[in-house]
Amino acid sequence: METWSKLEPFFIFLSIILGFLFSKITFISNLCGYLEEYLFISLLFFIFLEIDWANLKEAFFNYKFLSFDLIINFLWTPIFAFLLGLLLFYNNIYLRIALVLLLILPCTDWYLIFTEMTGGNVELSTSILPYNLIIQLLILPVCLFIFFGNSNTSLDFSIASESIFELLFPLVLALIIHFFLKNSETLEHKVHQYCDKVEFILVSIIAFSIFASEGTELIESLTSFPLFILAVIIFYVINFLISYNLAKFNRFSFQDLISLVFTTTSRNTPLSLTLSGLLFPQYRIISIVLLIGPITEIPFSLIISLLLNKLTKIQNFPHLRHIK
């Protein structure tokens, strides 16, 4: 893992502190409030640009893996996220929305680093990414309508309709660029590496912008962080146990087991943060608590990587092929 990736949580913390300090300057506060929407759309573009759409066919060769991935990510996890939100945040619908936004969007980029570090099947993990991205964009509005459609904070239809265009524009632009890059694998690889760094920078800028534009009003929202972190930890533990034991029971290879664990635990924190800003601009607490995602994702993934290596050494699985 590159140094800048390891330092992402630190830079997000630093961005939050600097944003709060600069919120005292009216010009910067107003400028950040104006630029936020454009920052969210830019981040969305680079998320879409990073996806390798050429791998769609490869996942069909391992239909069992594909089935488990889709069932855990898009059937079990949305229901679990909603129930967990009711349990921990019954009196705060904003935190329940934030939890659903964070947990039902599986990661589509950086978790491949941890898959490779732990000895997983990177090719298989890569082939599943386009499916995860397409389905999460389709299932998100359905989940929001089912879970929160009857609440007082349901989406304003005018905001939702504008957001559809804001989602489509960066997606179409990314697909057009992919079309022109498909004949140059070297250039396409460089573009994907560039996207990782730009996403990291944009998330940090967005964290700074949110606090700079709102200032002290948002400090009160930080009291929600500990309980929200607890909810994220519960998610990681439960989904890890489900995916690990499911892969073990179905006699997955060691590489495929690792891939399933990371595809069902890692979350698309940049996308959830972006969508919160576009779909719920009037409820800033949602974006605030979602900053927990990029702060905690690397430590949690490192723990999972170490735990997988430890488990496969302690337990004797004759059907698991170990990587040294």
List of domains in the chain: 3-314 (1.20.1530.20)
pLDDT value of residue 304: 93
pLDDT value of residue 323: 40
The average pLDDT across 286-295 equals 84
What is the share, in percent, of the chain residues with pLDDT greater than 90? 23
Q: Which of 59-68, 72-81, 205-214 has the highest mean pLDDT?
A: 72-81
Residue 152 backbone phi and psi in degrees, to 5: -70, -15
The runs of H, that is alpha helices, within the chain are 3-6, 8-22, 26-50, 63-71, 77-88, 93-103, 111-118, 122-148, 157-181, 185-214, 225-249, 254-265, 269-279, 284-290, 292-314
Instruction: Answer yes or no: is pLDDT of 264 > 90.
Output: yes
Predicted TM-score (pTM) of the model is 0.82
Instruction: Answer yes or no: is pLDDT of 239 > 90.
Output: yes
> What is the rounded radius of gyration, in angstroms, for the C-alpha atoms of the chain?
19
pLDDT value of residue 2: 56
The residue ranking higher by pLDDT, 186 or 90, is: 90
Q: How many CA atoms lie within 13 A of 295 on its CB side?
A: 18
3 state SS of 267: strand
3 state SS of 257: helix
Q: What is the mean pLDDT of the chain?
A: 82
Q: Which residues contact 48 (CB under 8 A, 6 or more apart)?
A: 133, 170, 171, 173, 174, 175
pLDDT tens-digit map of 1-22: 555 556 666 787 888 888 888 8
Instruction: Answer yes or no: is pLDDT of 299 > 60.
Output: yes
The residue ranking higher by pLDDT, 33 or 157, is: 33
What is the share, in percent, of the chain residues with pLDDT greater than 70? 82
CA–CA gap between residue 140 and residue 200 (Å, rounded) = 23
The average pLDDT across 299-304 equals 88
Q: Give the type of residue at 15.
A: S
